[in-house]
Amino acid sequence: MATQLPTTDIRIGADLIRRRKGGTPIVCLTAYTYPIARLLDPHVDLLLVGDSVAMVLHGHETTLGASLEMMIAHGQAVMRGSAKACVVVDMPAGTYEDSASQAVASARRIVGETGCQAVKLEGGVDMAAQIAAIVAAGIPVMGHIGLQPQSVEKDGGYKIKGRTDENVAALIADALAVEKAGAFSLVIEGTIETVAADITGRIAIPTIGIGASSECDGQILVIDDMVGLTVDRVPKFVKQYADLRSVIAHAAERYASEVRDREFPGRAHVFSKTNGGDEA
């Protein structure tokens, strides 16, 4: 039976997300900073500290620019700003693929240094052993199949998955392998809608769609894409709910004009011996 969200301020854990299968869709967004986490936390079920931070905040061309130290630093910031949401931190490329022992060591470091509720890694059949080992170590794992940004160079770009019978079979095998390995949920990215819906119906753990299907058990978007802050190409599957690029650009334009015209700072923004206490 599907479990609905509690009305208390208790932190949502991986087990509660797992039990949301088939219920009210799970609301997920990425977050990388303390202020954004504070703003999003009351409205979402899950915050993902995605390795997309390498592109969104650090200017790398792909997520391969993310390091373990980078993910931990942003994970710490998000945890400071979050009180309710289940916080999941991405395991960056190169920190889990080589062996189960490497994966466990990296996952332990992420959880130990951030206090997050779970980690996420990309891969299906090929990463089942790593998922199982991390879960056995007591750390919840979110899987990720379909379009896998860490494999973009190997795949020759951001290619949609599920267009051929062979690829569909591989996706189903990946989903089943991730579930069997003990993951509590599964991200399906950049996958033909009917295929993502079929996978959602085949497995007992929640699926989180991004460029997938409304039939998934939840949805996630990159926060900067969703609020219109992305400066480069925005994926087709993104719906922009705000245009903060224009808001920020306009504010910067007004500020620059007022500084050049000596309108800012005005009397309300400077200090004198008689206009208040010692607080800035």
Residues labelled as active-site residues:
189
SS3 130: helix
Contact 47, 85 (CB under 8 A): yes
Query: What φ, ψ does residue 29 adopt, rounded to 5°?
Result: -140, 160
CB atoms within 10 A of CB 254: 12
Contact 146, 161 (CB under 8 A): yes
Distance separating alpha carbons of residues 146 and 128, to the nearest angstrom:
15
* Three-class HEC string of 68-127: HHHHHHHHHHHHHHCCCCEEEEECCCCCCCCCHHHHHHHHHHHHHHHCCCEEECCECHHH
CA dihedral 112, 113, 114, 118 (to 10 degrees): -30
Which has the closest alpha carbon to 51: 95, 11, 21, 105?
A: 95
- The counts of H helices and E strands in the chain are 11, 8
